[in-house]
Amino acid sequence: MASVNVYLDKQEYGKDKVRLLKVHKDTKVHRVDDLTIRCLLSGSSFTTSYTEASNKAVVATDSIKNTCYVLAKSSKNVDTLELFAAELANHFLDTYRWVEGAHVTIIRHRWARMIIDGKPHTHSFWRDGDETRQTDIFIKRGPNCKGRRTIELKSAIAGLLVLKTTGSSFEDFVRDEYTTLPETKDRILSTCVDSTWEFNVPAVDSVNLIATLSQIPFNNIYDSVRDVTCDTFAKDESASVQATLYKMAAKSIQNWKWLERVSYALPNRHFFAVDLNYFRGTKNLQEHATVYQPLADPSGLISATVARSVGARL
């Protein structure tokens, strides 16, 4: 067989699934941030670790893990995922001059404060479902290894499970020889929301990176996107998941000048009324339906990205 020339096209390496709990004890009312972190490094200097088995440029993944803990101890931004992720990424670029790109993903797991004797408890919490807040940042060193940084930043909600028992229809869709689904004027609508929003962040010098990003109200934007998602889901007289999705995404872009795109992926979790007519003629279809069978699979999947028009920034 003739030899074939190959080359290393791209690479990233680092530490994944770094578990970290930060307890904020600055007041008597404690707060917690329960995080899962991934830090990946890239750059041409790492090529020889793949092609020549040389570890001269390799920062051990254990050192990357330790960095997460050390910075979490000193950082004032752990409760703002985007800023803490930026701190981590910028640290790797500042500390190791041969690193060209740092890619950090952080997942925040929900804890809700316990209500004890009718009052919020100062230091006790319960796990508030599987929904997570997430952020993903890629910071790249500027040309000629200068202090300039380019930033790709997006954040997300994942696993927000919602359901409403009325206010949703599905009619006037294509009917042909493959169609068995009846049209309905009223149905249960349920989905598990995954939403991602992309920020417009200009290139910035390393020394000003955190100060520049601090001007963006990340926590307020997260709360707002979540509120818009729930508010639109609840109030919209939904003609389809597609129509409701578009309203959610468009509203968040209109609310925040920093957002370039908002994406949703909405699996349609089906609930079908059980035909009880076989049991003494019990009515449980259409307007009589109160007992349903949940069917998780197969499910519809509706996804879309809504983007800001050119020149439409507030």
For 150-165, the pLDDT digits (tens) are 999 999 999 999 999 9
Residue owning tokens 């508030």: 128
Q: What is the reported pLDDT for 312?
A: 58
Q: Are 197 and 264 in contact (CB under 8 A)?
A: no
Question: What is the amino acid identity at position 202?
Answer: P
Distance separating alpha carbons of residues 73 and 24, to the nearest angstrom: 10
Low-confidence ranges of the chain (pLDDT < 70): 144-146, 311-314
The residues near 155 (Cβ < 8 Å, ≥ 6 apart) are: 81, 82, 133, 134, 135, 136, 196, 197, 199, 218, 221, 222
270 belongs to the catalytic site = yes
Binding site: residue ranges?
Answer: 61-62, 170, 187, 241-242, 268
> Annotated catalytic residue: which of 47, 61, 165, 184?
61
Kindly list the distances between the CA atom of residue 96 and the CA atoms of 1, 15, 45, 58, 191, in Å, as whole numbers in the listed order: 42, 16, 11, 10, 44
Binding site for 5-hydroxyisourate: residue ranges?
Answer: 61-62, 170, 187, 241-242, 268
What is this structure's pTM?
Answer: 0.93
Q: Are 12 and 42 in contact (CB under 8 A)?
A: yes
Q: What is the reported pLDDT for 134?
A: 98
Binding site for urate: residue ranges?
Answer: 61-62, 170, 187, 241-242, 268
Q: What is the reported pLDDT for 182?
A: 87
Q: What is the reported pLDDT for 313?
A: 55
Alpha helix positions (H), 164-261:
209-213, 218-235, 241-255
DSSP lists the bridge partners of residue 261 as 198, 307
Long-range contacts of 169-177 (CB under 8 A, 24+ apart): 169/237, 169/238, 169/239, 170/239, 170/240, 171/239
Distance separating alpha carbons of residues 123 and 153, to the nearest angstrom: 33
> Annotated catalytic residue: which of 109, 140, 154, 270?
270
Distance separating alpha carbons of residues 205 and 150, to the nearest angstrom: 9
Structure tokens at 207: 């020394």
61 belongs to the catalytic site = yes
Q: What is the reported pLDDT for 147?
A: 83
30 belongs to the catalytic site = no
CA–CA–CA angle 202, 256, 89 (5° rounding): 40
Question: What is the amino acid identity at position 225?
Answer: V
Sign of the C-alpha dihedral computed for residues 235, 237, 241 and 243 taken in this order: negative
Long-range contacts of 44-51 (CB under 8 A, 24+ apart): 44/100, 45/98, 45/99, 45/100, 46/11, 46/13, 47/8, 47/11, 50/8, 50/11, 51/8
